[in-house]
Copies of this chain bind each other. A is one copy, B any other.
């Protein structure tokens, strides 16, 4: 029923060894014979058995992506980029949703890591110690692990320039006259949140008489913005920077519900620039992150860092790769050591503030500014 390499060999009148070589190491076989075998293979509709190949070569041709929540537009966008690049390079992609659960993350990496050539772990919620363990014990040594949106000593990673993002946002608000600026943070323990807080502090130090009000930690979801919105109203800030867009949208919604006008009374800035940011009114001023590029860069770096041989066995895959590379040339990214003692190569993805309608000049006099 199913045609195997032996069948091809027999039909072509050569040994299985030669047939194998003709297909996967063409220069080892005489041109005429090679062509013939390839033709026969095509005619017979031969499809190499991946399991058999994997058994002996040890490579699966699969990559794996673990995200906290597939439905979150941030991760969906990253996943799309990762998937596209993986396919272009001849890899299939296993996708797993960790449901925001640190333990499930480890478990998934452990399970899936055993059957792939590389793992991309996006925005891991797990603690540093768990991350250490992953690299050391859980994964085979020849399965590279790459982090997205998190920096960890000893692991290659692709991160966005959080500090610069908040700097741009705060500078923008400062220029609009805001002096008391709230920060609605992400979950406790979130690495990117810590990054942004640090960037925020640093940026505000550079600006005269700017006060940053920490509104606390919130789930980075629309629902989290409701609680945050009330705190915004109560805190007397004239502007708020949210950990991400979903949170910002929730704040927007809550403020409107309470009769607080945006941007007349309060300005709101998000982070990520998810599609929904432009769907609301007022459209959200936010820090745009090239998420698809992030995903593509992750795959590229994973392949490179892990020196995973691309499974570009088929001419198709090769062609796709070329096309993909052309359409998406190497992004303008910084490569190198970006702190935290990261020895393996890391890529820093630049971000950009997009000003929309949710930010405006600060109200004339903030009552909370003190008499």
- The reply to whether B80 and A70 contact each other, CB–CB distance below 8 Å, is yes
Is A100 part of the binding interface, using a Cβ–Cβ cutoff of 8 Å?
no
Is A94 part of the binding interface, using a Cβ–Cβ cutoff of 8 Å?
yes
State which of A111-119, A159-167, A178-186, A212-220 sits at the interface with chain B: A111-119
Instruction: List 6 A-B pairs, minimum CB-CB distance, nearest first.
Output: A51-B54, A95-B95, A51-B55, A70-B80, A276-B276, A76-B76
Q: Give the A interface residue count (CB, 8 A).
A: 46
Is A157 part of the binding interface, using a Cβ–Cβ cutoff of 8 Å?
no
A102–B302 Cα distance when bound, in Å, is 30
Within the complex, the shortest CB–CB distance from A331 to chain B, in Å, comes to: 19
One of B76, B84, B94, B279 near A62 (C-beta < 8 A) = B94
A47–B71 Cα distance when bound, in Å, is 31
- The reply to whether B95 and A79 contact each other, CB–CB distance below 8 Å, is yes
- The reply to whether A256 and B281 contact each other, CB–CB distance below 8 Å, is yes
Interfacial chain B residues near A222, Cβ < 8 Å: 275, 278-279
- The reply to whether A97 and B83 contact each other, CB–CB distance below 8 Å, is yes
- A87 and chain B: residue at smallest CB distance: B96
Q: Quick one: copies of this chain in the complex?
A: 2
Interface centre among A2, A49, A92 (most CB of B within 10 A): A92
- The reply to whether B96 and A93 contact each other, CB–CB distance below 8 Å, is yes
Over the window 281-297 of chain A, the binary record of Cβ atoms lying under 8 Å from chain B Cβ atoms (1 yes, 0 no) is: 10000000000000000
Interfacial chain B residues near A49, Cβ < 8 Å: 55
Given A92-B111, A95-B93: A279 in contact with B249 (beta carbons within 8 A): yes
Is A253 part of the binding interface, using a Cβ–Cβ cutoff of 8 Å?
yes
One of B47, B52, B111, B140 near A114 (C-beta < 8 A) = B47
Near B by CB (< 8 A), chain A positions 35-58 give 47, 49-52, 54-55
Within the complex, the shortest CB–CB distance from A88 to chain B, in Å, comes to: 12
Near B by CB (< 8 A), chain A positions 238-280 give 249, 253, 256, 275-276, 278-280
Within the complex, the shortest CB–CB distance from A274 to chain B, in Å, comes to: 9
Interfacial chain B residues near A93, Cβ < 8 Å: 94-96
Interfacial chain B residues near A87, Cβ < 8 Å: 96, 108
Is A60 part of the binding interface, using a Cβ–Cβ cutoff of 8 Å?
yes
